[in-house]
Amino acid sequence: MEELQIYIDGKFYPKSEAKISVYDHGFLYGDGVFEGIRAYNGVVFKLKEHIDRLYRSAHALTLQIPLTKQEMTQAVVETLRKNKMKDSYIRLVVSRGVGDLGLDPRKCPKATVIIITDLISIRAGNAKETGVTTMFSWVRRNPVDATTQEIKSLNYLNSVMAKIEANACGIDEALCLDGNGCIAEGVGENVFIVRNGELLTPPTSTGALAGITAEVVGQITQKIGIKLTVANLTPFMIFTADEAFFTGTAMEMVPIREVNKRQIGTGKPGPITKKLMAEFQKVIEDPSQGTKI
């Protein structure tokens, strides 16, 4: 098998030779932004939406991306073609670039752009059929006036620490609360619950990322006539929910069967969750929902 080719600043390098400077602020300080994107059967799913979000995150960091959105789109497609991949997980990274050992971003004259196309396995086994176990982490989501998860930045220490706790407790995934004790999101996923036939999800004011997959779920609910409300969710609300599930680019949609040893609903994926998962599968199989490779 040929070695994967990694895009770095307009050039391609074999995976074993793909490197950045140790003076890059993305490495030194987590100073940068990224997107995780999926390609299905030769179509990059919601590529425009992902690139738009990348540029919004960069704008919030006053990070100047050295490519136009069109050029970035072409670079992603070119990288997939270079690796002859029709199905892939794409990691698009823009760091502040090479500077010195100080914090001042003015010392970084040009951002670094990296595109990786590979495969990813987030959830082993048959999680979509059985659901996952979760727990509330002691690690609170950073507030919206700090390193908020509204910005998809390279600083994911908040999520990493919550994931470490879940791993140590033998739980599949962690749930993160905001500073007021309301549910924000998972370590890298949006959260939805079902109560009395209606869907609820937290607002981004909890520090949660505005998810692309979550947005698709919202569009599906309108199509099939399920009411969706954006509202603060308390731990009690998810404990007593009829159904609950995660959404995210990498994991797509995964039911939640347990939170802090409390069974959710019947302990199995519920009818609304299964209906939404089936509809989501139709969307990702629709070539009009992305950019052709």
Out of 19, 84, 86, 152, which one is annotated catalytic?
152
Neighbours of 221 (CB within 10 A): 18
* C-alpha distances out from residue 156 to 25, 66, 89, 172, Å: 15, 24, 19, 18
Three-state SS at 138: coil
The Cα–Cα gap between 108 and 128 comes to 43
The Cα–Cα gap between 243 and 32 comes to 36
The DSSP secondary structure of 32-59, one letter per residue, reads: EEEEEEEEETTEEETHHHHHHHHHHHHH
Neighbours of 119 (CB within 10 A): 9
Q: Is 11 a catalytic residue?
A: no
Three-state SS at 204: helix
| DSSP category for residue 23 | T
The Cα–Cα gap between 52 and 57 comes to 9
Cβ contacts of residue 130 below 8 Å, gap of 6+?
255, 257, 268, 269
The encoded tokens of residue 79 equal 């990288």
Positions marked active-site: 152
